[in-house]
Every structure is written in C-alpha cells, then in structure tokens.
Amino acid sequence: MNEKTTAELENLRGLIDGVDQQLLHLLRKRLDLVAQVGAVKHGAGLPIYAPQREAKMLAKRRAEAQAMDVAPQLIEDILRRLMRESYLNEKDVGFKQVKTDLGHVVIVGGEGKLGGLFSQMLTLSGYEVKSLDKDDWLNSQTIFDGAGLVIVTVPINITCELIASKLTQLPSNCILADLTSIKTAPVEAMLAAHSGPVLGLHPMFGPDVGSLAKQVVVVCHGRGESEYQWLIEQIKIWGARIVEAEPEKHDKAMQLVQAMRHFSSFVYGLNLYKEEADIESLLQFSSPIYRLELAMVGRLFAQSPELYADIIFAQEESLVAISDYLDNYSQALQILKSGNREAFVKQFEEVAQWFGDFAPQFQRESRAMLQSVNDMKTG
C-alpha cells in the first residue's frame, strides 16, 4: 500500500468510526425510549411483544430504506436485532400481575433451570414464589398451605409418580400445572390427584432464552379453565404465543420434534466420536450449513445427558418413529449402494413435491440463518 492509499483509508475509516459512534448514541437513545415503553406497558398490563406495531414499523422503514437506496433487508435485520434487545430491556421493568389475590406460587423442582426461569418470570410479575425441591418434602404441607398455584417441573420419569404420591392434598381451589415435555400422562395424573383446576403446559424452549417474547407455550386444558385463564393471560404478557393442543396430538408431534430430533443428534455425535473425526479440521473446512449442523449437534453434548435421556425415553411410541427412520435410511442407502442415481433423483423429486411451498420457505429462512452464522466468524 502506498502512502496516499494509507492516508485515504485512514481518513475514511476515521469518518466511519464517527458514524458508528453516532449509531451507538442513537442505540442508547432507543434503549432509553424502549425502557419508557416498558414502564407504560407495565402500568397498563400490556404484553411485552407487540407484533402489529413491529410489522407496521418494519414495513415503513423498509419503504423508507428503499427510497434512500439502502437494502430494505438491512434495516429489517438491524431493527429485528434491536427489538430482541427491547424484549430483554422491557423485561427488567417487570410485568403486570394479572391475578393479585392468588396467594403464593409453589414450584416443585424450582431449583431446576426451567423452574428457575418460571420462578423469575412470576417474581418479575409480583407473585410470591416458593421453591420445593428434593430436601423440602418434610415441610411440604407448610409450603403448600395457602398456595394458589403449584407448578411441577421435575424430570419426566418421576413426574407422574410424584404427582400421584405427593400432590393429593393441595388446597382445593389451588391450580395444579406442570411443565413436562409430554402431556397425556402428566395431565391425567394431575386430574386424578387433584380435584381443583388443572392444566398442562409445555414451554417449547430451553431455559437459556433470556426473554419469552415470541416463544411458544403449549397449553393442554385439564379442568376449570375459567379459574386458570389468568395464568394464560400472564404468559401472554411475558410475550409468549399460546398454542392450545390435545395432549395426545401434542405427544405425537413430540415424537418427531423432540425424541427423533435429539436421538438423531445423539447418533450423529456418536458417529463423529466413533469415526474419531477431527472437529478442529472439520470446522476449518465447514460450509455455513455444516457449521450450523455441528452447532446443533455439539450443543446437545454441552447439556445434561439425564435431560435428553428423559426426553428420548419419555414415550415408547417414539421407538416406532425412530425405527421407521432407520428403515428409510437403509432403503435410501440401498439406492446409493446400487449406484441407482435415477432412483435417487426420482425419490428426491417425490419428497420435494410433498414439501411443496414449505421447501422454498425453509430455503429463505435458512439463508438468513446461514448468513448470521457467517457473520459470527472472526479472524
């Protein structure tokens, strides 16, 4: 680089630094305004997440960007990232308490990660939350006394037994709910153990989400809906989307969404291990989609084996789904072994047709994800 080039670059980079600093001040200003919005929402009991406002705002900014010769997707990406920040910041102000005369909440398994998240959200909404864990059962009667809501969030394999043996003496108007990732058996167990209001919940996210904005919580109605409607409203105020489902339908979906998903990741990791793959060099050679795949698989092994055993072993019927997968894998492998390229292409087209409009939709979605994966690269 000659001196002139160096000087020109330095000058321009100085100007860019200045613009970035201005951006930083604007970000600070935006965060302060969002905090004020949070306070107003808190007072009025409005949900943290306002999808209509977001859609309107994004449409306007995209049009303005276009007129200024800025890529509309650029401003949309930036604003979406800022909105994520807003959810975190609005959360700090707390949430409106929908039910003010509840009595306290007991979280059975409150020291677990998901229990901790619900405890935090309920506390931020003004409820008194008590945790009941393994060592507290001697005191349980005192802890349950006066409780308005009991939430069970213990490992799946002990959930039903715990409900049947330990939750039969709750105050009669107390709401009994669980957060288990299967629903048929726990909801039945709760209905049998308790004569008051019962509902099953399944938060479709891990405990590390930061905010519940846009996250899905599945609700399976048990008994006494009008008594626990406030809890559903409360969860909506946290920003989550409620999906109502029959327990059986939910459990069937979980065979693919959870058991199959995690089992496949487990086998994928197992295979890398047995093949003695060199992750370091795989990372060096990885395309963005492969990086994403390694991330999906690798994150499994950063978590508790007990948790995943629980999820994978939760339903016997998952065995059928997983065995079918193995059969299809074998059949596809047969096509490959026989060198029948035509058969592969034909099968591919058949599946593509079955995916229909979802295939291009997933392609668009994954494009944005892959670009983010690439953005995260350093060096």
Ligand X SMILES: C=C(O[C@@H]1C=C(C(=O)O)C=C[C@H]1O)C(=O)O
Give the footprint of ligand X on this chain (CB under 6 A): 34, 37, 49-50, 53-54, 82-83, 86, 90
Which residues are 217's β-sheet partners? 203, 242
| Closest to 152 (Cα-Cα) out of 95, 106, 209 | 106
Nearer of residues 74 and 279 to ligand X, judged by Cβ: 74
> Quick one: DSSP state of residue 95?
-
For residues 15 and 59, which CB has a smaller minimum distance to ligand X in the complex?
Answer: 59
Rounded to a whole number of angstroms, the minimum distance from the CB of residue 52 to ligand X is 9
Shortest Cβ distance from residue 30 to ligand X (Å)?
7
Comparing CB distances to ligand X, the nearer of 86 and 255 is 86
Least spacing, CB of residue 187 vs ligand X, in Å: 32
Contacts of residue 37, Cβ cutoff 8 Å, sequence gap at least 6: 86, 90
CB-wise, 54 or 188, nearer to ligand X? Answer: 54
Neighbouring C-beta atoms of residue 189, cutoff 10 Å: 23
Taking the least distance from each CB to ligand X, the nearer of 46 and 260 is 46
Closest CB to ligand X: residue number: 86
Three-class DSSP category at 40: helix
CB 259 within 8 A of CB 322: yes
Nearer to ligand X (CB atom), residue 49 or residue 127:
49
Residue 210: CB minimum distance to ligand X, A = 14
Rounded to the nearest whole angstrom, what is the least distance from the CB of residue 81 to ligand X in the complex?
A: 10
Q: 320: which residues sit within 8 A by CB, 6+ positions away?
A: 255
- Residue 274: C-alpha distances to residues 58, 267, 271, 278 (Å): 48, 10, 5, 11
Contact 159, 179 (CB under 8 A): no
Closest distance between ligand X and the C-beta of residue 160, in Å?
Answer: 38
Pairing of β 241-244 and β 147-152: unpaired
Q: Which of 211, 265 has the CB closer to ligand X?
A: 211
Q: Which is nearer to ligand X, 74 or 351 (CB)?
A: 74
CA pair distance 284, 279, nearest whole angstrom: 9
Residue with tokens 């909404």: 125
Distance of closest approach, residue 233 Cβ to ligand X, in angstroms: 17
Q: Is the CB of residue 288 less than 8 Å from the CB of residue 370?
A: yes
**Do 93 and 38 touch, CB atoms closer than 8 A?**
yes
Torsion of CA 240, 244, 247, 253, to 10 degrees: -70
Token pair for 214:
């846009």
Task: Tell me the closest approach of the beta carbon of residue 182 to ligand X, in angstroms.
Answer: 32
